[in-house]
Amino acid sequence: MSLFSTLQTGASGLGVSGQTLGVIGDNIANLNTVGFKRNRANFADALPQDVSGVGGPSQLGRGATSVAIGGQFTQGALSTSGNALDLALSGAGWFQVNDGNQSFYTRDGSFGLDSEGYVVTQTGYRVQGYNADAGILSPSLNDLQITETPVPPQATSTVTLEMVLNSEDINTIDYSALTLDGTATTLTEASDAADFQTSFTVYDSLGRSHEVVVNFERDAADPNLWSYSAVIDAGETDVAGGVAGSAFEIGAGTLAFDTDGNLTTNTYAATGGWTWPGATAWDPVFEFGLDTAGVATDGSVTNNGSSSTVTALAQDGYAMGDLTSISVDAEGIVRGQYSNGQEQALGQVGVAQFDADGGLDRLGLNLYAATAASGDPAVGVAGTGGRGSMVGFSLERSNVDLENEFVDLIQAQRTYQANAGVIRTADETLQELVNLV
């Protein structure tokens, strides 16, 4: 090898060392960039030169050359935030975003809402996902939009009771003698006459709340037979002559138990011809464990020696509710929490997956583009098909390890200095050669 070739070999070493310094500098500069994936410079030896010697032909190296600068797509640490739409992927996958013309991919989940309710990146690109209509998710991928439309009211249709009736609970007032047409007996008088009573709130079709009282009366001759009467305030109804505070019976029935205290028969008849003003007719189903046909239902009413008590009560109605907060679960479903206690799916964030992440084209602004080397994106739901789970109120930090970068930086610097020494030595030798002429 000539001294001039030695200069070229040293220069190649300077080139790859300088490139390494540039890559490390870029990694350190993006230490706090959300979702950043560090890069690594990869090199190989240059095509060697064939030389002849006493021992026969051989090869002499000619330095190093750059092969590629590849991204290292390892998981970054997750940090919490106070924004529900700050999202992180724990595992494989990418968020897909769109600028209106082209799709891009990012691990930066710093999202928010624009003026139209679209979920967008910090640069205004729209996040892709599955929109929802009345809590039902669409199967089509689109710009993800979160609507703040209130949840409409739902009338109570079913009341479920789990309770114990004490077979010895009985008073001397004859409940059947009361007038429950909304004109005479008050709600308090009706409750005082009952052997046991419970009350709960229900909702009409307009979302207005009303109090329903169910009074239970044990048969004086048969401790395994009970009657029940559901009453409301007549002043809230359209009942002719109804007096506020008076009891209006909306339905009544009987409950029969076997000698073990298990419910065997449930009869019920509703009182028709009334409504809450402006609302649709209301005829609820009371679930006590058996329906009127003797078929098992939810709820449970037993008759035994324990104190009469209600252990659980549920009804399925609610008033209109305004959106108060949102959250994102592990599957990427954006759920809305409403002022009426309801929760509803508002959409779902899509997750893209590639055959080869290393083939993605880095574009800046935390964005990547698909290429032939990466393959086409397969977009689906977080937690499926090898995709990572989604974490709300969190962001993925850069996967740059500062300590390792400084070690690599020192090594690259020493390599640069060593190659500079090779060039300096070759130059000094050439100078000696020139001086001999």
CATH number at residue 194: 2.60.98.20
pLDDT at residue 169 in the model: 63
Instruction: Decide the pairing of beta strands 158-166 and 300-304.
Output: parallel
User: Of 248, 283, 315, which closes a domain?
Assistant: 315
Helix H or strand E segment including 90: strand 87-90
Give me the number of domains the chain comprises. 3
Residue 66 confidence (pLDDT): 67
Same domain membership, residue 248 and residue 110? no
pLDDT string in tens for the chain (437-residue length): 466 677 777 677 788 888 888 999 999 999 999 999 999 988 777 767 666 666 667 666 667 776 788 889 999 999 999 999 999 999 999 999 999 999 999 999 999 999 999 999 999 999 999 999 999 999 999 999 999 999 999 999 999 999 999 877 677 788 989 999 999 899 999 999 999 999 999 999 999 999 999 999 999 889 899 999 999 999 999 998 899 999 999 999 999 999 999 999 999 999 988 999 999 999 999 999 999 999 999 999 999 888 899 999 999 999 999 999 999 999 999 999 999 999 999 999 999 999 999 999 999 999 999 999 999 999 999 999 999 999 999 999 999 999 999 998 998 889 888 878 777 877 777 777 778 76
Q: Which of 315, 334, 365 is the last residue of a domain?
A: 315
- Would you state the pLDDT for residue 220? 86
Query: Do 418 and 392 fall within a single domain?
Result: no
Per-residue pLDDT, 429:
78
CA–CA dist 18, 204 (Å, integer): 75
Same-domain check for residues 165 and 61: no
Residues composing the chain: 437
Based on the fold, state whether residues 305 and 165 are members of the same structural domain: yes
Co-location of 175 and 213 in the same domain: yes
Q: Residue 334, exposed/middle/buried by CB under 10 A (0-12, 13-18, 19+)?
A: buried
Q: Taking a C-beta distance cutoff of 8 angstroms, is the pair 189, 207 a contact? A: no
Cβ atoms 76, 396 nearer than 8 A: yes
Claim to verify: residue 306 and residue 347 sit in the same structural domain:
no
pLDDT of residue 433: 72
Do 300 and 176 reside in the same domain of the chain?
Answer: yes
What is d(CA 393, CA 135) in angstroms, rounded to the nearest whole number?
A: 22
For residues 16 and 32, membership in a common domain is answered with yes
Q: Are residues 168 and 306 in the same domain?
A: yes
Residue linked to tokens 């008590």: 309
Residue among 424, 418, 419, 416 nearest 3 (CA): 424
**In terms of domains, do 282 and 163 share one?**
yes
- Do 60 and 21 reside in the same domain of the chain? yes
Residues 15 and 93 in one domain: no
Comparing CA positions, the residue from 211, 201, 203 lying closest to residue 152 is 203
Instruction: Give residue 410's domain range.
Output: 3-74+401-436
Q: What's the N-to-C CA distance of the chain in angstroms?
A: 20
